[in-house]
Amino acid sequence: MVETQIRTEQLKLWFGKNQVLHDVSLPVYKNIVTAVIGPSGCGKSTLLRCFNRMNYIIADTRIEGKVLLGKEDIYSGRSDVTSIRTRVGMVFQKPNPFPKSIFNNVAYGLQIQGKYPKCEIRDRVEQSLKAAWLWDEVKNRLNCSAMSLSGGQQQRLCIARALANGPEVLLLDEPTSALDPQSTAKIEELCLELKKTVTILIVTHNIAQAGRVSDYTAFMYLGNLVEFDLTEKVFTVPSDKRTEAYLTGVFG
Amino acid sequence: MNARKFKDKLGTSVAWICSGITILFLLVFLGRIIYKGFSVLSWNFVFTGPREAMTEGGIYPALAGTFWLTALAILIAMPLGILTAIYLTSYGKPRWLVRTVRIAINTLAGTPSIIYGLFGMAIFVNLLGFDVSLIAGALTLAILALPMIINATEEALRTVPQDFRDASLALGATPRQTILRVMLPTALPNILTSTIISIGRVAGETAPIMFTAATFFSRQLPKGLSDEVMALPYHIYALMTEGTHPAKQVPIAYGTALVLLILVITISALAIYIRYNIRRKRQW
């Protein structure tokens, strides 16, 4: 049986008066890629941002229910949002490296914690870049601006940046929707490699991508978690009509 | 020619003429100052003090005075303005305080500069007892520069992509770290450009320093913060209104105007150059 790394329990979320998530209870298993699919506006990105408390940035957000990282409820008063975010990393839809050097981009998460000596930061930057399959491409120009990289490289840099903190969970919010097919393929392969060390939750518009990279798939519709099961099962014998309709392209 | 084509031609010509008139004004203005001022301009003029009851000699004390006034004013206004802008864009609570600060800034920005002069005299010169001094003038000019710097910084911070902020927060940075390590460095070039432009504005102001810092004549350079200083714009004003030998003093006034103009244009050119370089290098 697989171990649960992070999960939501009866999660409800409102933006103002508008309820965006309805009683979502989703387990994310350890060292496994879980994909969240669904039509635009179904709340899948909002759900993803609940896992590292990024929804709090938007005003008027109200959340009920629990998000449990291990045994810790990350929304309880005791938990510290900055340490949650080092344990749950995130990569965004659009590659968003800082306008700093490649090295400083990856080192950022460690530098701000202020507790790592320089030599350790250097080692971890190298490890992270290697883990994100970027090291060979950038090892000779770590001090160049991250903006000089291609889109696909930038996105892998963002993955390396998130990995440097040594997260338990990596949240990927449509990480390839701004990339060309080749870079997309590379990042998908990378996901399969990374899941050996980190739990991955990926939101994607691309159904085929979910099929390629994920072990489990969650289908969301209008803020409800409609179906959650092994990807194989969801794609071949979906138990809900709406899932079947979405996967076969009736809507979406 | 049909009516539509005629109207089109007419419209274009009117626009041409209007822009022509604007440029003409600028050219005549520049031409006259250069023509009248160029004859007295020399290294000697720039780097010596006035002599013979200001009918001869140069403007060095005024140049130095303007430098110190401007430098001090910007040094005071910059941290204050940047921190205020950070508060307005990034913290912004409680709302009523933000609204009050905004109203205050906009009111300040629209206040005639002579009012700053009177205010500076009332507060710094009289109430706080600084007398007419370099520091009183610099503080007054700082208040004048404040709304410019706040608005520019706010604008610069707002143009930092939200993506950068999200990325920083998602890596476990606190809001303070995000501002200091990501937002400010990204916005800094734009903040600097606008600050440089406000330097030009501050250097050229007469009214705010008239009652707070400027003196008609001073043989030496200011020695400390409590000294009265000469300043270029006030020097021009003094020569043109209070001079006793117009025939000798008017050319000096034009020369001073030319120096001030060159100074302000150089500063603006520097700002344009920096901005151009940033725009060329910026990749987001």
Based on the number of CB atoms within 10 Å of its own CB, is A125 exposed (0-12), middle (13-18) or buried (19 or more)? buried
Which of chain A's residues have a Cβ under 8 Å away from the Cβ of B168?
A: 98, 108
- The pLDDT > 70 percentage for chain A reads 98
Predicted complex ipTM: 0.91
pLDDT beyond 60 at A134: yes
Q: Are the Cβ atoms of A108 and B166 closer than 8 angstroms?
A: no
What is the predicted pLDDT for the residue at A252?
60
What residues are paired with B50 via a beta bridge? B57
CB A149 within 8 Å of CB A97: yes
Confidence of residue A105 (pLDDT cuts 50, 70, 90): very high
Residues 150-209 of B with CB under 8 A from A: 161, 163-164, 166-174, 177, 181-182, 185-186
Closest Cα in chain B to A111: B173
Q: How far is it, in rounded angstroms, from Cα A156 to Cα A190?
A: 9
Highest mean pLDDT among A24-28, A38-42, B60-64: A24-28
Strand, helix or coil at A30?
coil
Average pLDDT over chain B, rounded to an integer: 87
Instruction: Report CA-CA distances (Å) from A116 to A106, B185, B254.
Output: 14, 23, 62
Are B196 and B267 a contacting pair, CB within 8 Å?
yes
Query: A153-192 pLDDT, tens per residue?
Result: 999 999 999 999 999 999 999 999 989 999 999 999 999 9
State residue B261 phi and psi, 5-degree precision.
Answer: -60, -45
| Percent above pLDDT 90 for chain B | 40
CB contact under 8 A, A112 and B173: yes
Q: Any CB–CB contact under 8 A between B31 and chain A?
A: no
CB atoms within 10 A of CB A50: 25
List Cβ neighbours of B177 (8 Å cut-off, separation of 6 or more): A112, B168
Residue A203 CA: distances (Å) to CA of A117, B57, B79, B130, B156: 35, 76, 43, 64, 33
Give CA separation, A174 vs A45, A90, A93, B280, in Å: 8, 11, 5, 30
Contacts of B131 (CB under 8 A, 6+ apart): B125, B226
Q: What is the Cα–Cα distance from A248 to A244, expressed in whole angstroms?
A: 6
Q: What is the pLDDT of residue A29?
A: 93
Is any Cβ of chain B less than 8 angstroms from the Cβ of A248?
no
Domains located in chain B, CATH noted: 62-230 (1.10.3720.10)
Q: Do the beta carbons of residue A102 and residue A142 sit within 8 Å? A: yes
Cα B264 to Cα B201: distance, rounded to the nearest angstrom: 8
| CA-wise closest residue to A111 among B266, B181, B209 | B181
User: Is residue A56 scored above 70 in pLDDT?
Assistant: no
Q: What are the chain B neighbours of A147 within 8 Å (beta carbons)?
A: 283-284
Nearest to A165 among B166, B171, B177 (CB): B171
Query: And the tokens for B95?
Result: 């709302």
Cβ of A162 and B170 within 8 Å? yes
**Cα(A13)–Cα(B75) distance, integer angstroms:** 47
Banded model confidence at residue A214, pLDDT cuts 50, 70, 90: very high
List residues bridging with A35 in a β-sheet: A202, A217
Residue B169 with chain A: CB contacts under 8 Å:
54, 57, 85
| Full DSSP string of A195-250 | TTTSEEEEE-S-HHHHHHH-SEEEEEETTEEEEEEEHHHHHHS-SSHHHHHHHTTS
Q: Nearest 5°: CA angle at A191, between A41 and A160? A: 95
- Which residues in A lie closer than 8 A to residue B172 (C-beta atoms)? 82-86, 109, 112-113, 165
pLDDT value at B283 more than 60: no
Scanning chain B, the segments in alpha helix (DSSP H) are: 3-38, 43-47, 60-86, 95-110, 113-120, 134-158, 162-170, 175-178, 184-204, 207-210, 232-242, 246-281
Average pLDDT over residues B52-77: 86
Say which CATH architecture domain A4-96+167-247 belongs to: 3-Layer(aba) Sandwich (3.40)
